[in-house]
Amino acid sequence: MTESTELPSARPEQWRPSEFEERTPSVARMYDFLLGGKDNLGVDRERAREAVSADPLFPRVVRENRAFLGRVARFLAEECGIDQFLDIGTGLPTQDNVHQIVQRINPDASVVYVDNDPVVLAHGRALLADNNRTTVIQADLRDPGAILAHPDVRRLLDLDRPVALLLLAILHFVPDEAEPHALLDELRAALPSGSYLAITHGSPDLRPDVVHRLEEIYSRTASPALARSREDVARFFGDFEMVDPGLVWVPWWRPEQEPAEDSDLVWFLGGVARKP
């Protein structure tokens, strides 16, 4: 059954979908739906439900990715003393966004969110209206130069001091033709020593049939996805030094409690590395 297309319930005055956006599932809005959010349309829910039929564990995979984000943000702010965050591929605001986590630890921490989906910009701006240490900009990971030169990045982040660059659940939306390894070379080179890079990425290594089926489903969205092998994902860290426990399935990255039994079916890899 196809549901009617409704406007998102939250702050609808901020965003009106274009014709293309009404017709085409957005990975940001599908992710919001999978996390239990309300900022999504019928087309997004339909495609997300198809993905859940292909992998009933998919909502769990997404939640595990989000839990990784929380642990990483706390680790960087608390244990590494990082107070500047560049989060590319932010997604729609949900509970415990990066700025909320790190500013609880350090109220002076700065966060710049970057996403290429206009709905993220609209909702992010509404959430951040009264936060002068955090902003959201609309830009594309495939143009790192524009991100690094953006006036809001220059205003809020001092690129002469360590920065944490977060690329969580975004790189699988960058196809090989866009040369993601070269993009990462450029971003890593722009960061000073002592900076951190955190990545999560879908990988076919664990459950290839399921993941390839999901790639096919995501090929019918605005952002086709490509899962990559562990080896390929590891290359994104370049010569940065991996923090323990290295690049692992996300439930096993510094878990705060024993991972649930079926955690070995969670096919997202995640890791954090430090620039020497």
Ligand X SMILES: C[S@@+](CC[C@H](N)C(=O)[O-])C[C@H]1O[C@@H](n2cnc3c(N)ncnc32)[C@H](O)[C@@H]1O
* Residues of this chain that bind ligand X (CB under 6 A): 27-28, 31, 65-66, 69, 88-91, 115-117, 120, 140-142, 168-170, 173-174, 223
Give the Å distances, CA to CA, from 24 to 19, 44, 219. 9, 8, 11
User: 58, 123, 63, 60: which is closest to 90 by C-alpha?
Assistant: 123
Residue 125, Ramachandran bin (φ over 0: left; ψ between -120 and 50: alpha; else beta): alpha
DSSP secondary structure code for residue 103 in this structure: H
CB atoms within 10 A of CB 136: 24
CB atoms within 10 A of CB 232: 18
- For the chain, what percentages of helix, strand and coil (3-state, to nearest 5) are there? 45, 15, 40
Question: CA 241, CA 168: separation in Å to the nearest integer?
Answer: 18
Cα torsion 134, 143, 231, 170: sign: positive
User: 33, 62, 156: which is closest to 102 by C-alpha?
Assistant: 156
Residue 1 Cβ vs ligand X, minimum distance, rounded to whole Å: 25
Question: CA 89, CA 166: separation in Å to the nearest integer?
Answer: 8
CB atoms within 10 A of CB 193: 8
